[in-house]
């Protein structure tokens, strides 16, 4: 049984009485402090409700209509609503709301969203399908898609790679191959062959002569786009390009 603080306290002749404990106090603050701390009844601070015992209070706190505690935290943080609680669980515990699933790490969580829920690999916004996600991806202009040898920028990774491959001033094909050799797991997309078509898509098994052509294929093919997601070699390749850009960029005066 629950009692609202205002209904539980009796006010008479300037005195305040606790109905359960039959104790009298001379001020509102004193009776309020009593209701918070008394051992004879349990108190919910957020709702200003008193309960006859801890069991009733515990059941009340489980009611998500009034309270939003994280089931994965030892703390007692009561979130304002389910949306804020969900945001906390996703950030702190890598929780997928769609699947009600806890992932092992941030990278696993992001990979799960991208592969299972058509999430944008840049901002992790979830879409109904990969076609919508692909259209959304064009709205992102990545800082890492900048040539490390000049001021040229591009909206896609494939475009900046094709620029590098065609520009002798910026390093040309040798610069691209240096990036490939520095990339962990590059065998996932590059194996030297006698045919000259050294770059391959491990999803559909098609082959290309240049990295730029392969990157363009991955960006434009829904069934193969996952190869550009976290934990894949192309993700490390883009990181490598970003690091080289930072290293080669001129220092500010």
DSSP letter assigned to residue 190 = B
Return phi, psi of residue 38, to 5°. -65, 140
Check whether 206 has a pLDDT greater than 90.
yes
Cα–Cα distance measured from residue 121 to residue 140, given in angstroms and rounded to the nearest whole number: 10
Check whether 178 has a pLDDT greater than 80.
yes
Query: Given pLDDT bands bounded at 50, 70 and 90, which one contains residue 137?
Result: confident
Check whether 228 has a pLDDT greater than 50.
yes
231 and 111 Cβ atoms separated by less than 8 Å:
yes
139 exposure class (CB count in 10 Å sphere: 0-12, 13-18, 19+): exposed
For residue 153, the Cα-to-chain-centroid distance in whole angstroms is 27
Q: pTM of the predicted model, to two decimals?
A: 0.46
130 and 120 Cβ atoms separated by less than 8 Å:
no
Domain ranges of the chain: 2-61, 82-137, 157-248
Which pLDDT does position 250 carry in this prediction?
A: 47
User: Which pairs count as long-range contacts for 166-173, CB under 8 Å and 24+ apart, including other chains?
Assistant: 173/210
Which pLDDT does position 53 carry in this prediction?
A: 75
Cα–Cα distance measured from residue 176 to residue 22, given in angstroms and rounded to the nearest whole number: 82
Tell me which residue of 243, 251, 228 sits closest to 111, measured CA to CA: 228
Tell me which residue of 181, 144, 177, 149 sits closest to 163, measured CA to CA: 149
Which pLDDT does position 176 carry in this prediction?
A: 85
Check whether 203 has a pLDDT greater than 50.
yes
206 and 217 Cβ atoms separated by less than 8 Å:
yes
Residue with tokens 């960029």: 249
Q: What is the mean pLDDT of residues 191-198?
A: 86
Q: What is the mean pLDDT of residues 125-149?
A: 75
Cα–Cα distance measured from residue 76 to residue 97, given in angstroms and rounded to the nearest whole number: 21
User: In percent, how much of the chain has pLDDT > 90?
Assistant: 6
């Amino acid at each position: 049984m629950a009692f609202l603080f205002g209904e539980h306290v009796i006010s008479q002749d300037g005195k305040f009485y606790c109905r359960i404990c039959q104790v009298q106090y001379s001020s509102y603050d004193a009776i309020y402090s009593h209701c918070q701390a008394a051992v004879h009844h349990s108190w919910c601070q957020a709702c200003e409700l008193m309960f006859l015992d801890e069991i009733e209070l515990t059941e009340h706190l489980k009611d998500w209509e009034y309270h939003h505690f994280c089931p994965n935290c030892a703390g007692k943080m009561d979130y304002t609503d389910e949306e804020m609680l969900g945001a906390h669980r996703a950030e702190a515990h890598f929780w997928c709301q769609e699947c009600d699933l806890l992932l092992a790490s941030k990278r696993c969580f992001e990979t799960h969203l991208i592969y299972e829920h058509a999430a944008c690999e840049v901002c992790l916004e979830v879409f109904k399908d990969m076609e919508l996600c692909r259209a959304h991806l064009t709205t992102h202009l990545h800082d890492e898609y900048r040539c490390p040898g000049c001021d040229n920028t591009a909206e896609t990774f494939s475009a900046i790679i094709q620029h590098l491959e065609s520009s002798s001033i910026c390093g040309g094909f040798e610069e691209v191959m240096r990036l490939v050799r520095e990339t962990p797991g590059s065998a996932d997309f590059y194996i030297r062959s006698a045919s000259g078509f050294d770059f391959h898509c491990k999803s559909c098994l098609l082959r290309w002569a240049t990295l730029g052509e392969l990157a363009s294929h991955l960006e434009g093919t829904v069934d193969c786009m996952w190869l550009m997601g976290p934990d894949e070699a192309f993700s490390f390749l883009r990181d490598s390009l970003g690091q080289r850009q930072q290293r080669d960029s001129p220092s500010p005066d």
